[in-house]
Structure 1
Amino acid sequence: MLFFFNIFLFFFLGIFAVIMTSELLEIHPLELKFTFELKKQSSCLIQLTNKTNQYVAFKVKTTSPKKYCVRPNTGIVKPKSTYDFTVTMQAQRVAPPDLICKDKFLIQSTVIPFGTAEENITSDIFSKESGKHIEEKKLKVYLSPPNSPVLTAINGDLKQDIGHETSSPRDKARDGVENIPPSQKVAEDFMGFETAKDAATMGTQRFKTSRDETEELTTASDLQSSVAKDVQQLKSSKADDFENLKSKISFMDSKLKEAEVTIMKLTQERSMVARETDKLQSELELSKTKSNAIRITQVGFPLLYVCMVAVVGLVIGYLSNL
């Protein structure tokens, strides 16, 4: 008895020492940061570090349980070790204004005895009414937008819009000599050359357009054929999956029938054992009653013998008085 009392006292002294010296769990990070994208999930990893020599149990709570998924939400952190859990924000259809999130998380921790299983960790362990020390830490949630797209170079150079400068009929060259406009004939020849050049350019563009259309048609036909192949493969895979599922279901049905037969046999055997047990108990009670009756007959004296002794005693007494 004294040994168990010493163990109990040592356990509570250890708990008191842990409470007075340092915190139970060190949490990293102290903020939950999620990359927010519409209709996409986002996860965050939290690490708990136990720097004490005690076993510490923890439980994670949130103000929006339907919005987040915590795996696992309870656990045990061994002495001088770490424990990780993941918080996943479900896909949201509407973004909060200015990406400001008011959700909060609460991590409760307390010291537990050695040998406690994770299945035995319940909400009662973290109840403050029990008088135990419950350490609580709150974590805020922050949302950040996805990375903004970076400008990429096109053909090795970035395309930028440059302001157009107005030019006068006479532009000055770099050496300061003015450019004199050509004569009327030269200008007409130049205009004709530009017209021919434009016509050639238009023809080239038409040829390129027709070639692009042909390539688009070829690409469309190839895409259609690839889609048809994908559909056929999908149908065949679905058929194979259906057959596999059907075979698995039939196998499970056979196993279920075997289990039902085994359960029936066990039930019958149990009933037979119960009947035999009742029979043995009744026989045992009957034998007990018989043994008690035999004892009573062996220990007591017959009534006739007692009466005769009494009569003889009275006669002897009467004769002695005479």
Structure 2
Amino acid sequence: MEKDILIQEINRLRKEKNAVILAHYYQEKDIQDIADFVGDSLELSKKAAATSADMIVFAGVHFMAETAKILNPEKTVVLPDLNAGCSLADGCKAEDFIKWKAQYPGHKVVTYINCSADIKTLSDVVCTSSNAKKIIESFPQDQPILFAPDRNLGKYLQNETNRDLVLWDGSCIVHEAFSLDKLIALYKEYPKAKIVAHPESETQILKVAHYIGSTSGMLNYIVSSDAEIFIVATEAGILHKLAQDAPGKTLIPAPAYEDNTCACSECAFMKLNTLEKLYRCMKYGYPEIKVSEETRLKALVPIQRMLELS
């Protein structure tokens, strides 16, 4: 089906089914352009919690759609491609997490939202990169804390909060793909550039960054900064929104170890979603995200705590 016709059909179905399309910044540009709202994990969670739509079309990855379902049990939540997973969520299995948690009695559990509903049920509070520092600092200074599943974000939070967090050994393949040597070489070409990085990136990347923050934080920093050139160390999908919101500024994706077509880091999971798949999931209501009521109620508690603290 041609793109123009696809867009017409998606718009028709959006009205017919009272659907809202939520898209992450890492989605392909055609999906971002047709979405009702584009944001990072925290913003999308808030939108999902507040929507009055009957159908939530979540153009992102599985844990995001699952979170939307936890917040909206009575609504239909669909994901364009059920295989759109996440290296962080997939690398943190509940059975392993239970054993790990049992080794640290008395510890509170803070989990990054990039995890499954099962892991959320084992957590005291969920966080995103936007509010992680605030969440950690909401606990008394002497409260021992487990943090999962992203060790790079955890190390960053240790430095930011001066807390000795116990970290799960997980990482995001997208944010571990950046090459420090290539980044430094690129910076030498553009010495007036500001390097902005997501805290899921490795420590050596964060050490050379001028700004570290969530996807939305990076976008806001670039839009409001007086600088004209930026090297952006996060998934390359954000460049589309940045180009719209910061016209006239030079945006350069941070280079990855691998030599690929975009010389950047892209999330293969995020890119599984397409306009065609988005249209089909709206038309047929499938793949639909399901969460058992027992799991949903347990997972809802730490998510609501996060939203209250945010």
**TM norm. shorter chain > 0.5:** no
Choose between structure 1 and 2: higher helix proportion: 1
Larger radius of gyration: 1
The structure, 1 or 2, with the larger RCO (C-alpha pairs under 8 Å, 6+ apart) is: 2
Q: TM-score, normalised by structure 2?
A: 0.18
Choose between structure 1 and 2: higher strand proportion: 1
